[in-house]
Amino acid sequence: MTRRMKLLLGVALAAMLTSPAALAADDLKLPRKAVELVAPPFVHPHEQTTKDGPKIVEFKLTIKESEVVIDDAGTKFQAMTFGGSMPGPMMVLHEGDYMELTLVNPASNTMPHNIDLHSATGGLGGGALTHVGPGEQVVLRWKATRPGVFVYHCAPEGMIPWHVVSGMHGTVMVLPRDGLKDEVGKPLRYDKIFYIGENDLYVPKDEKGKYKRYDSPGEAFSDTTEVMRKLIPTHVVFNGRVGSLTGKNALTAKVGETVMIVHSQANRDTRPHLIGGHGDYVWEAGKFNNPPQKDLETWFIRGGSAGAAIYKFREPGIYAYVNHNLIEAVELGATAHIKVDGKWNDDLMKQITPPGPIPPDKVGAAEPAAVTR
């Protein structure tokens, strides 16, 4: 190699290293933290408050297209997911932090994808800047300016509803740097956090009324779209399938523990209700700059949003957490269980007499007289 070629090569290399693309990752000169995501209903470890300054929080979402089972009857469904789970993982950071998200669409996939983060500002929530075909990846950075829980979902042009109801949605939680507060500014904390993502699924049936099976998402597209347009889901499920959070899969807590439940629905309205409990503090619209409501029996999650509720368990037992459209909860699958261990408190509830035969009427006792006016 000649001296001139070496010089030109050195100039070219220097230009590459100082180009906007090469410097983009370090232009803020902030500390970095890489987060290992976990599948719902669990959430990666995080601090509820921080005294540190802003940082860049690194996340990686790998898109996975795969066939999954969605009920106990073995119904097969062509799912498209962030990270391999329905919903995708929750990503947590603090107000003022920057999320640096690497979105990966492996070559083994067949569809184009992107991500629209409701928590982000500009560029269609990032959707305009994150289109990736199979075998591509993209890195997006955005600043967390609004505290709350927010939906993210796939939004490719011409296929948005299909990708969303096929499983491509999740939640971002942006915590205030000084933590959650009640209506008078008193700090609120949780001992555990669970993330429940509700999904309405639309599975085509054959002429005999049996659910159809497909070899790929693309093959399922036309039939699934036809079912979707009727707006009548075949399944309404928590975390990807009927029974995903019941029985042996039940969530667990203890009497005295304070639990936060984050609930998202990327497409339809829903009405979470904790049977046997309440929402001590509820951010129904999911935004932490607003004071929480107190003592709710049922709360309303608008389609395309996430909400958060905090409850301190006071009695042991099995609590059913449901979509209180009870047809969807009981018949279509939108039910979770929380198994709570601890000592029973008779002051809150006590069975005075157990079930037994109705006592016979006393001899000569008169029927109550009807009062008319």
Write out the catalytic residue numbers.
113, 116, 118, 153-154, 163, 168, 273, 297-298, 324
Closest residue by Cα to residue 81 from 45, 129, 127, 39? 39
Let me know if 325 is exposed, middle or buried by CB neighbors in 10 A (0-12, 13-18, 19+): middle
Residue with tokens 């006590």: 350
Residue 8, classed as helix, strand or coil, is helix
Are residues 112 and 137 in contact, defined by beta-carbon separation less than 8 angstroms?
Answer: no
Instruction: State how far the Cα of 194 lies from the Cα of 43, in Å rounded to an integer.
Output: 7
Query: Can you give 41-93 as a three-state secondary structure string?
Result: CCCCCCCCCCCCCCCEEEEEEEEEEEEEECCCCCCEEEEEEECCECCCCCEEE
Which CA distances in Å does 277 have to 195, 258, 269, 291, 324?
Answer: 18, 12, 21, 21, 14
Which two three-digit tokens encode residue 66? 């795969």
What gap in Å lies between CA 201 and CA 290, rounded to an integer? 32
Measured distance CA(58)–CA(139) in Å, rounded: 10
Phi, psi for 277 (deg, rounded to 5): -140, -165
Residues 178 and 26: beta-carbon distance below 8 Å: no
